[in-house]
Each structure stands twice: as structure tokens, then as C-alpha cells.
Amino acid sequence: MLDLAWYCPSEGDGHRLGTARPERPADLGYLLAVAGAAERAGAQEILVPTGLVNDSFAPDAPFSESWTTATAIACGTRSIRVIAAVNAATVIPRVAAHQAETLERASGGRLAINLVAGGGPDDPYGGPALGHDERYVRLGALADALRERFRGPLYLGGASEPAVSLAARVCDAYLMWGEPPEEIAARVAAMRARAERPMRFGLRIHIIARRSDREAAEAARALVAAAGVQGARSAEYAGFDSVGQARMNAIPADPEGWVAPGLWAGIRAVRGGAGTALVGSYARCAAWLERYAEAGVDMVIASGYPHLEEVRRVARRVWGRLRTPVPA
């Protein structure tokens, strides 16, 4: 079964991506509305991202903090699982474990933790600069502390050897950005062989689905037409040593960003992290999702702009076409 999870737009939201400021600020009232819409649409989980630098708009645009946002969403919903992303640079491991244990109780067991190492050596929170492998040692210490007190699942994404090793050792779900299905299949197979235990596999990707391929392509172009942060994004990427981000940036595409009909990498020029989208008719997007399911993906952490309206569209028009649709 391919589960639907949704993304909490903690950086802000709207009909345009990559502008200096979002059309809809990331205030808690709006984020709760998105979470409620996702829950009503049948999404099983919602990912609350972490960060200080805004990855979707200008770097200095407001970004809602993950623990606070996750707590508000957990207390404002009834059934959806909250995936709280936690950067090990921002916490003391034993304190974070206590926080997770507390929020797990408050949410009725509806909490997962997404372990985040950080994309580069410089710590935006003011801590000491750490190299790539050192950050995963620090993240491993957080994972071990969480395992002592927190009963919920641990999620982790990353393509480097330290990331894969840590995921195989401690995680319940391994997350990947939207690379082509054959690449995802190879990564799933390698992780299954390495972990030698049951594990879920998640895909983080955007979805721009419309009645026709042409209408969807027009929506994709419009989404980034007013973007002005390309220079800031390039400078941000230059300071990264993230293997996953490097893989995302290196996916071959034509000058308009098309990797293949239905898979578009145009978002990566204006947004960090997940930089690909499924773009096409409802049937085409559903067919791509079936390919990812065949590659071993169990859940898709999707997003669309604006998130409040698009979760309804994606759940009804796209998931409704899958062989294993999201529960109503």
C-alpha cells in the first residue's frame, strides 16, 4: 500500500515559489489549517521540517520552528501522525529524548522523529562548524538517546555512507528525495540488504497534477515564474557538503528542467532539499506513483502549492486512481 503523507509548509506558502516573501506566512493558524485539511483528506502523516534558513523563499524569510509547530499540530489534530524533523545541532540529546517522550504521550502515540544532520559544516544556530562525518556522529548520539526513552519511529534521509549506515542501524523508515524510479529501486534494495530487517521507505516529492499534461506544465512554469532567489540558492548550495543535495542537483534534465515526461526538476533552482516534482494529468501522476511503489516506496511525503488546497486535489484526483488508494 502506498501511503499518503503531506508536508507542513513551515517556510510559508502560496501560488508562487522562490519569491522574497511568501504569499501566505507560516503562522500557526495556517499550518494547523493545512494539517487539518491533510487529515480530512486521508493523509496518514505530516512532516514538519526543521531549519533556520528558509529554503523556499528568501533565506531570511520567517521559518516556523519544528518542535513548536509539531506540538501545535499534534494537539490540534486527532488521527494524523506528526513527523517532527529535529536537527541534532539544535538540541541536547537527553533533553530532546524527554521532549519526544512527552509529545508522544500528549499526541496519543502519533509522533515520529525525522533525524536531520544538516546540509553543511556551518551551523546557522551558532554552534561550532562540524564536518560531514562528524555531524553524523552527533546525529547518532541523538538517535541513541531517543531510543532510550522514545517508543515512536525514527526516520532518516541521506545518501552518504554515514547516513546509510546510521539509517540501517537505528531507523524505522528511510527517506529519499525524488530521483528517477530506477535510482530509488537501487537504493531501496541496497538498504534492505544492509539493514536485514523490516523498514519503510519514503519518497519526498512535489506533485503538480491537473486535468491535462498541458495544464499541469503551465502550472509548473507559473509556480516559479516570479522567483528571485536563484542566486541565493546557488550560494547556499556552494556551502553544502550534503551527498543527497549533490545527487538532487546532478539529476540530468533538459533546459526547461524536464527529467522525463512527468518528472520535473525545475523546482531545484529555487528551493533547497526536495527539488523534483511529478507534473502532469491526474492519470500520469498516478502512473509515476505506481512506478515508485514498484521500486519499493511505501509512503510519499508530497507537497503542492498552495498546500491547503492541493492536498485535497492530490488525495482525491491522484491517490484515488492508485491500485491501493488512500483510505477515505
Strands 81-87 and 200-210: unpaired
User: So what's the pLDDT on residue 284?
Assistant: 98
Average pLDDT score over the chain: 94
Query: What number of other Cβ atoms are within 10 A of residue 211's Cβ?
Result: 11
Count of domains observed in the chain? 1
User: So what's the pLDDT on residue 324?
Assistant: 55
Q: Which long-range contacts (CB under 8 A, 24 or more apart) does 181-185 make?
A: 181/288, 181/291, 181/292, 181/294, 181/295, 182/295, 184/292, 184/295, 184/296, 184/297, 185/294, 185/295, 185/296
Helix residue ranges, H only, the chain:
28-41, 66-76, 93-106, 132-149, 161-170, 181-195, 213-224, 230-238, 243-250, 282-294, 307-313
Q: Give how far the C-alpha of residue 234 lies from the chain's centroid of Cα atoms, to the nearest Å.
A: 20
Tell which wins on pLDDT, 322 or 234. Answer: 322
Instruction: Check whether 313 has a pLDDT greater than 70.
Output: yes
Residue-wise pLDDT tens digits, 291-312: 999 999 999 999 999 999 999 9
Residue-wise pLDDT tens digits, 43-95: 999 999 998 889 999 999 999 999 999 999 999 999 999 999 999 998 999 99
Nine-digit cell at 172? 524505522
How confident is residue 326, by pLDDT bands cut at 50, 70 and 90? very low
* Domain interval for residue 120: 3-321
CA distance 146 to 268: 32
Q: What is the CATH number of the domain that holds 218?
A: 3.20.20.30
| Phi, psi (degrees; rounded to nearest 5) at 113 | -115, 125
In a domain, 134, yes or no: yes
Burial class (CB in 10 A: 0-12, 13-18, 19+), 192: middle
Nine-digit cell at 161? 555512507
Percent of the chain with pLDDT over 70: 98
Instruction: Check whether 323 has a pLDDT greater than 50.
Output: yes
In a domain, 200, yes or no: yes
Residue-wise pLDDT tens digits, 144-162: 999 999 999 999 999 999 9
CA distance 296 to 291: 9
pTM of the model: 0.95
User: So what's the pLDDT on residue 328?
Assistant: 43
In a domain, 90, yes or no: yes
| Phi, psi (degrees; rounded to nearest 5) at 65 | -70, 145
163 three-class SS: helix
Could you tell me which of 172, 142, 176 has the C-alpha nearest to residue 157?
Answer: 176
Could you tell me which of 59, 60, 69, 5 has the C-alpha nearest to residue 31?
Answer: 69
In a domain, 326, yes or no: no
CA distance 264 to 25: 26
Of the given ranges (126-140, 196-210, 249-263, 278-292), which has the lowest mean pLDDT?
126-140
Q: What is the mean pLDDT of residues 197-208?
A: 97
In a domain, 85, yes or no: yes
Residue-wise pLDDT tens digits, 161-172: 999 999 999 999
User: So what's the pLDDT on residue 183?
Assistant: 98
In a domain, 327, yes or no: no
Instruction: Check whether 129 has a pLDDT greater than 90.
Output: no
In a domain, 328, yes or no: no
Quote the Cα angle for 31-85-109, to 5°.
Answer: 80
Q: What is the mean pLDDT of residues 184-211?
A: 97
In a domain, 36, yes or no: yes
Instruction: Check whether 325 has a pLDDT greater than 60.
Output: no
User: So what's the pLDDT on residue 126?
Assistant: 75
Q: Give how far the C-alpha of residue 292 lies from the chain's centroid of Cα atoms, to the nearest Å.
A: 16
